[in-house]
Amino acid sequence: MESLSCLVLKPSPPTRLFFPPRIPQMALPGSTFVFPFSMDYQLPITTAKLALKPIRASTSAVPTTPSTTSTVTSSPTAASTKKVLVPIGFGTEEMEAVILVDVLRRAGAEVTVASVEPQLDVQASGGTKLVADTRISTCSDRVFDLVALPGGMPGSAQLRDCEILKKITSKQAEEKRLYGGISTAPAVTLLPWGLLKRKRTTCHPAFFDRLPTFWAVKSNIQVSGELTTSQGPGTSFLFALALVEQLFGESVAREIGELLFMHSADDKPRKEEFNKVDWAVSHTPRVLVPVANGSEEIEIVTIVDILRRAKVDVVVASVEKSVKILASQGVKIIADKLIGDAAGSIYDLIILPGGVAGTERLQKSRILKKLLKEQDAAGRILGAVCSSPTVLHKHGLLKENKVTAHPSAITELSNPVDGPKVVIDGKLITSMGLATVSDFALAIVSKFFGHARARSVAEGLVFEYPRS
């Protein structure tokens, strides 16, 4: 019986992790990316120009939705043979799971998200509700090119206690196929399964002392044979790109990195602010994140996760008829409520995620349009990332504000700023999107609470952030 296939415990609330500052990174010569030093392996990614390509529908077991988000695929044949399993459970870290799925699907992998719980709906560690494609029991007889475990607590313990997943991953290791884990997964899940033997390994810094001393490596990414490990939410893009390179090769990983704006720290300014005003409020900041079918999952999940870590009250509201939305790369997310139910409250900030198909649907929502105009008239804060600044523009809300956006959308805007990942102009904040949304969300934390709070949250993510 499926309900007996995994040990299911009544879970305690998810645990968010905080720990000391991360180790420094090392930029590879001639590279536009920053990758950590690894004793066994370094990602040899070099400079490249990227021509955006049309999306190829994922062959994973999820319904598809029209999307204009760009992707890179090696070839139909290669894509169909690269099968990836990403298991999730109660308390899985949502940034790690979603970034893995999104990036691997962009590369052309057939990714199956499998729940180790009795149900498909899973509440992640920061409160985001994800819907798996299938239950883990349906995957027991399948062969995967890669099994990638996200971290999070108690998510990693839930994965550890699933016998079916243990057998799948152990067979993966025995047959010399790729497997890996990020954050708490190496120490909490893979170590008890005996899958770290004679493998150099890294993990979440708060769990580092659990690793065998001789084989533990303080690096952001560690590749040791078939095993790849990484440190936390802030290294998720690096982890995913390392796996993409092993599955599809250097050129695909390089193109995906460019597509996601995975630039080096020196390539673009982190943020630029104009017409500085105080955002501090005397209460817990309240933020609305409207979402739609086709919204970009990386942007939704990263913004919500980071703001909730900073103790911001975040409401995710669907503009669709259902609270369940299908994001641009096939990740299914359950919003907290419908936009009509959210419209009765006042928000200090409304943030629009990107994803071209999702942006179009956000723009058509009459309730959201009314909310945005009321927000602007009341002098409260607006935010938009990726392609969504065009929604504010078409509703006449940008005025003379300086903005940034995804390169495909920025030409539609009247006062764009070229260069910074994040632009703040008074009570408007915009971002290029995708990998830059971590900086976007941390900039919001800094504006609400100050730099010290933002830095503390960044350290908890294992995300490089300036000291001052």
User: For residue range 172-230, what is the model confidence (pLDDT) as tens digits?
Assistant: 999 999 999 999 999 999 999 999 999 999 999 999 999 998 999 999 999 999 999 99
The residue among 343, 299, 294 whose CA lies nearest residue 317 is 343
Which residues belong to the active site?
Answer: 386
3 vs 236, more confident: 236
Domain locations in the chain?
83-260, 271-461
User: For residue range 372-406, what is the model confidence (pLDDT) as tens digits?
Assistant: 999 999 999 999 999 999 999 999 999 899 999 99
User: For residue range 75-126, what is the model confidence (pLDDT) as tens digits?
Assistant: 444 445 799 999 999 999 999 999 999 999 999 999 999 999 999 999 999 9
Q: How many angstroms separate the CA atoms of 44 and 42, rounded?
A: 6
| 302 within 8 A of 437, measured Cβ to Cβ | yes
CATH placement of domain 83-260: 3.40.50.880
Q: Provide the whole-model pTM.
A: 0.86
The residue among 70, 145, 67, 128 whose CA lies nearest residue 103 is 70
Strand runs (DSSP E) across 194-252, as ranges?
221-224, 227-230
Task: Please list, in sequence order, all residues whose beta carbon lies within 8 angstroms of the beta carbon of residue 4, skipping any fewer than 6 positions away.
Answer: none
Let me know if the fold of 83-260 is the same as that of 271-461.
yes
Region 49-67: mean pLDDT is 34
* Domain 271-461 class in CATH: alpha beta
